[in-house]
């Protein structure tokens, strides 16, 4: 067996080093948009808008869906806010 074939069949485990690094904020304008954790996160500026697919990306990393649901950058899901249809009848 020559060196080339031995290298091709080498199954030695390699360890992978993963380092934590902070991602730069998506929002680069002034004043900065609210963070994804703030209550007014929906007021951030649009980065991408795809109405044909039903979603928009905000500069704070939040994905808004047309059914009012949200996906936060850390993976948390905010359920859609359904309005309650109240019908008032007079007697």
Tell me the Ramachandran region of residue 75: left when phi exceeds 0, alpha when psi lies from -120 to 50, beta otherwise: left
Torsion on CA atoms 46, 31, 40, 38, rounded to nearest 10? 110
Does residue 8 lie in a domain region? Answer: no
Does residue 9 lie in a domain region? Answer: no
Number of independent structural domains in the chain: 1
Does residue 22 lie in a domain region? Answer: no
pTM given for the model:
0.61
Phi and psi, residue 16, nearest 5°: -110, 130
**pLDDT values of the chain reduced to their tens digit, one per residue, 91 residues:** 555 555 555 555 555 554 444 444 567 878 889 999 999 999 999 999 999 999 999 999 999 999 989 999 999 999 998 776 656 666 5
User: Beta 55-58 vs 63-65: how paired, if at all?
Assistant: antiparallel
Does residue 16 lie in a domain region? Answer: no
Quote the domain boundaries for residue 77.
43-84
pLDDT at 50: 95
């Amino acid at each position: 067996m020559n060196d080339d074939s031995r290298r091709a069949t080498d199954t030695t485990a390699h360890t992978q080093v993963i380092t934590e690094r902070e991602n730069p904020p998506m929002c680069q304008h002034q004043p900065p948009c609210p963070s994804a954790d703030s209550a007014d996160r929906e007021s951030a500026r649009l980065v991408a808008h795809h109405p044909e697919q039903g979603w928009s990306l905000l500069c704070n990393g939040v994905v808004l869906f047309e059914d009012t649901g949200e996906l936060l950058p850390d993976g948390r899901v905010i359920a859609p806010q359904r309005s309650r249809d109240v019908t008032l009848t007079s007697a």
